[in-house]
Amino acid sequence: MSLVAERCDRLVAWLRERAAEAGSEGAVVGLSGGIDSAVVAGLCRRAFGEKVLGVIMPCHSNPEDAEHARLLADAFGIKARTVVLDAVYDQFLALLSQGQDSAPPRLAVANLKPRLRMLTLYYHANSLNYLVMGTGNKSEATVGYFTKYGDGGVDLLPIANLVKQEVRELASYLGVPQAIIDKPPSAGLWGGQTDETEMGLTYEALDHYILTGEAPPQVAQRIEEMNRRSEHKRRLPPAGPR
């Protein structure tokens, strides 16, 4: 058995064990149209069979993302529901912006999207007695490339110990459609946004540093600084003294 096959089997067994411990019957996965959510959905399909719900949540998004999400759901035989968040997002942003003299920072506005998606996923999970599956990988977690209480607000993180290249290998093994594997990774926070541009790093360089500790000095310095500044995202909120 190959390494990727063994890894897949371990993750499927782990998902079943964790769900049993929680008294949960299945999984809810936000289908973004990207490779990470595709891999998590594929693992959940193997772990829970038909007790998987994929939720497609466009929010002023690239239409291709929803097309790829539906392509993935069809390929794996996963039940999917589309919840369009455009109007909710617009109304909420208008409410929050009332009385402000200047436009809010772009990141504050963009982070509303993953946080609205988190609410949507938990509504469905609570309704079905399922767990919300996170889609973050080790590369993103290392540098804090996720939204606190957005895509970071989940019950389980199946691929959080796999770097991006390992996620790609698992995607190929699971049979994720090639169009999804080949597309440039993007959080879809705004038009034309890509992960690597936003991080200021390539996944190749980031993965290599995580796995080997080797990188040009300026790259290593950037990764370590991003890791330090995002440490609060990877921990529970600190409790104050008595």
33: left (phi over 0), alpha (psi -120 to 50) or beta: left
CB 161 within 8 A of CB 170: no
Tell me if 190 is assigned to some domain.
yes
How far is it, in rounded angstroms, from Cα 17 to Cα 200? 37
pTM comes to 0.94
Tell me if 242 is assigned to some domain.
no
Q: How far is CA 217 from CA 75, 116, 221, 224, 227, in A?
A: 43, 38, 6, 11, 15
Tell me if 241 is assigned to some domain.
no
- Domain span at residue 104 reads 3-234
CATH classification at residue 17: 3.40.50.620
CB 42 within 8 A of CB 176: yes
Tell me if 164 is assigned to some domain.
yes
> What are the backbone angles phi and psi of residue 46, rounded to the nearest 5°?
-70, -35
How far is it, in rounded angstroms, from Cα 175 to Cα 103? 44
CB 30 within 8 A of CB 24: no
Tell me if 141 is assigned to some domain.
yes
List the chain pLDDT tens, one digit each, 242 residues. 799 999 999 999 999 999 999 999 999 999 999 999 999 999 999 999 999 999 999 999 999 999 999 999 999 999 999 999 999 999 999 999 888 888 888 889 999 999 999 999 999 999 999 999 999 999 999 999 999 999 999 999 999 999 999 999 999 999 999 999 998 877 666 666 677 888 889 999 999 999 999 999 999 999 999 999 999 999 989 899 99
Instruction: Give me the number of domains the chain comprises.
Output: 1
